[in-house]
Amino acid sequence: MIRYIVNRILQGIPLLFIISIILFVLMMNMGDPIATMGGRSITRSSDRVRLTRQLGLDQPVYVQYLYWLIGNDWAKIDLDGDGIEESNGTRRGILRGDFGTSLVNRGKPVTKVIGERLPNTLLLMVASEIIIILGSLLVGIYSALRQYSILDHTITALSFIGYSMPIFFIALLSMYLFAILFKRWGLPYLPTVGMFDPQVGKTTAQVLWHMVLPVFSISIISFAAYSRYIRSTMLEVMSQDYIRTAKSKGLPRREVVYVHALKNASLPIVTVVGLDLPLLLGGAVVTERIFAWPGMGRLFLDHVSRLDMPVVMGILLLIAVAVIFFQIVTDIVYAWLDPRIRYD
């Protein structure tokens, strides 16, 4: 198993390299980061020339990629525009742990930009994922065991309603209902935006209170999808011969369902969860934007709209690494769930 893991990690290195080249080239062809540096007016031509030179954007794409990868502290650059490359570069490149500095928040290291947002996203997304997985397991198993019951039909109908609604609609609707209308009706109401009320301060209770609506919005759609998925896999497993055998042996129903059936039904679910987990790092773009939650999704959107290449590349690489990591974890969990799977 260890050999397998090491092999997978080694395979991931060239993969990351290829991903980085593709993303970098795509980013460099998306527009001009200097275009929006002039505020509400077009960037002045003299500033455009100077910034293009100072930020190294006048270099060919392959040189910019090389600097991003291995740094430019070994090269001379022309800062004052006199045509003479007189100054040493200061970047060390990602291979030496330097992800660069943000073009938007000039001078702020990319690791710091991302590091400030990642905990907020994990807080929101992990809470949502726990609710989604636990809730959908309960509902999915219940629906499978009581197929075609009134409750199963009701859950199915609600799932389709939840799944068919766009998240921005759910988010805005829930905000309007639970924050504005509840307040108007004199009921206990939820906050609209942010992580805490400035009059109260950033307490744990405040943050949890402000998480309710975003977590609800994120959960409702995935909850609907997951519960349907679990229901179908459980139905399939419950009709297998070995379950019938387990029942014939007189095993308690609880053991049959939660040990024998669920464990095997979990294999495809683990695949889906394994693919979803790295995306948690990317945050929920729409939900974070609507509820003004300071997470990775908003960070990505804000910086990609201004073509902040170092930050965007940092986020994308982080997700790429997470995808590879969680795929390895998924494979390990497969082996744990199904003893027939061996990687040696």
Partner 1 sequence: MKQKLFFVLVVTALVLTACGGGVATQAPVETEAPVATEAPATEAPATEPPAAEAKVATFIWTQEFDSLSPLYQGMWFSEITQQFWLCWAWQFNEKNEAFPYLLTELPSVENGGISEDGTQITMHLRDDIKWSDNEPLTSEDFKFTWEMFTDTKNTVSSAYPYDNITSIDTPDEQTVVINFEAPFSPWLANLWQGILPSHILRPVYDAEGTLDNAEWNLAPTVGCGPYVFDEWESGSFARFTTNPNYWGEPPKIDEIFVRFVPDDASQTAALVAGDADLGAFIPYSDIPQLKEAGMTLTTEPSGFNEGWFFRIDDKSHPAMHDLNVRKALAMAIDREAVNRDLLLGLTKVPASYWDSLPFYNDPPSENYPYDPEAANALLDEAGWVDSNSDGTRDKDGVELVLRYGTTTREIRQDLQAVAQQQLAEVGIGVEISNYDADLFFAGYGEGPAANGELDIMEWSDAPGFPDPDVYYWLCSEIATDENPAGSNWFFCDEELDALIQQQSTQMDANARQETISQINQMFHDNVYWVGMWQDPDVWAVGPRLTGVKFSGVTPFFNITEWDIAE
Interactions with partner 1, residue window 67-106 (CB under 8 A) = 79-81, 87, 101, 104-106
Helix intervals (H) in the chain: 2-28, 45-54, 61-70, 110-145, 150-164, 167-175, 182-184, 204-238, 241-248, 253-255, 262-281, 285-290, 296-304, 309-337
Among 23, 66, 70, 127, binds partner 1 (CB under 8 A): 127
CB of 242 to partner 1, least distance (A): 19
The nearer residue to partner 1, 13 or 177, going by C-beta atoms, is 177
What's the closest the beta carbon of residue 118 comes to partner 1, in angstroms? 8
The tokens describing 188, both together, are: 């206990």
Does the protein bind partner 1 through residue 135 (CB under 8 A)? no
CB of residue 45 vs partner 1: minimum separation in angstroms?
Answer: 4
Tokens of 307: 């073509």
**Closest approach of Cβ 266 to partner 1, in Å?**
11
DSSP one-letter string for 146-158: TTTSHHHHHHHHH
The backbone torsions φ and ψ at residue 58, rounded to the nearest 5 degrees and listed phi first, read -85, -5
Instruction: Name which of residues 290 to 309 contact partner 1 (CB under 8 A).
Output: 290-295, 298-299, 301-302, 305-307
Residue 109, strand partner residues:
101
Question: Across-strand partners of 77?
Answer: 87
For the beta carbon of residue 305, count every other beta carbon within 10 angstroms.
Answer: 12
Q: Which is nearer to partner 1, 159 or 217 (CB)?
A: 217
Phi first, then psi, for residue 204 (nearest 5°) are: -60, -45
- Contact of 214 with 164, CB cutoff 8 Å: no
- If the CB atoms of residues 131 and 321 are measured against partner 1, the closer one turns out to be 131
Measured CA to CA, the distance from residue 164 to residue 104 in angstroms comes to: 37
**From the CB of 236, what's the least distance to partner 1, in Å?**
22
Of 16 and 165, which CB lies nearer to partner 1 in the complex structure? 165
- Candidates 2-10, 227-235, 243-251, 289-297: pick the segment binding partner 1 (CB under 8 A): 289-297
Using the rule CB under 8 A, is 274 a contact of partner 1? no
Which stretch, 66-74, 147-155, 183-191, 312-320, contacts partner 1 (CB under 8 A)?
A: 183-191
